[in-house]
Every structure is written in structure tokens, then in C-alpha cells.
Amino acid sequence: QVQLVQSGAEVKKPGASVKVSCKASGYTFTSHDINWVRQATGQGLEWVGWMNPNSGDIGYAQKFQGRVTMTRNTFISTAYMELSSLRSEDTAVYYCARGTTMVTPLDDWGQGTLVTVSS
């Protein structure tokens, strides 16, 4: 079965960077986009961006342009999302989700990674 397993919780200081990983199994990693979605405590879902693991093509929500970088390692079927210049408002659970951007739903989700930004 499809599984997306994310890295553990992180605590960072304002201004620092965080890199979250998402390891895929149960399907061909390069055949589906990986999207990233975040959720602040008690708030709704917010789309961050997408990456095509085959081509490396990426797209980010304008809000995160210049601060977010999405990469992958196809040899270990793992996607990464790095967010820099962290501020307290970036405190949230970050999810990776499988789905072809602009086409299909997000049909499988990782368990989420809590990123806490605090001085």
C-alpha cells in the first residue's frame, strides 16, 4: 500500500531553516507529484507547493516564493521541503501528499511534521 513517512518534529529559532523529508513507498515514486500542505494549530489547510519527482519541476505558492525549496532523491524515493528565514507564523504541521498537480486529488498523505519556530 502507498505510504508517505515524514521526518520527526523540529524546533527552530526565528531566522533559521528547516528541512522536512517525505519517504514514499508502495508505488513508483517518479510517477506522481508530491505536494506540500501546511496547517497552523486550529487553522485550515494551506497549499505550499508541488514537485514532480521525475523531472524535478517545481511550483510554489507566491506567498512562499524565495523562502521554500523542494527537492528529491529518486534513489531513496524521498522528497524534501526546506523553508528558510523562519518566523513564528511558520509554526505549523507540514504534510506531504501524493497527487498530480492541476489534475488529480491528493489521494495519500504523510502523517505530518510539526515545525515549531520559537526563540
Q: Contact positions toward other proteins, by CB under 8 A? A: 35, 37, 44-47, 50, 59, 61-63, 95, 97, 101-107, 109-112
Residue among 29 and 50 whose Cβ is closer to other proteins = 50
Q: How far is the CB of 7 from other proteins (least distance, A)?
A: 15
Q: How far is the CB of 10 from other proteins (least distance, A)?
A: 17
| Distance in angstroms (rounded) separating the CA atoms of residues 19 and 10 | 9
25 in Cβ contact with 3 (< 8 Å): yes
Q: How far is the CB of 16 from other proteins (least distance, A)?
A: 25
Q: How far is the CB of 75 from other proteins (least distance, A)?
A: 26
| Distance in angstroms (rounded) separating the CA atoms of residues 41 and 83 | 18
Residue among 1 and 119 whose Cβ is closer to other proteins = 1
Alpha-carbon distance values, 88 to 18, 20, 85 (Å): 13, 17, 10
Question: Could you tell me which residues come within 8 angstroms of residue 94 by beta carbon, excluding any fewer than 6 positions away?
Answer: 6, 20, 36, 37, 38, 48, 81, 112, 113, 114, 115
Residue among 18 and 22 whose Cβ is closer to other proteins = 22
Residue among 8 and 105 whose Cβ is closer to other proteins = 105
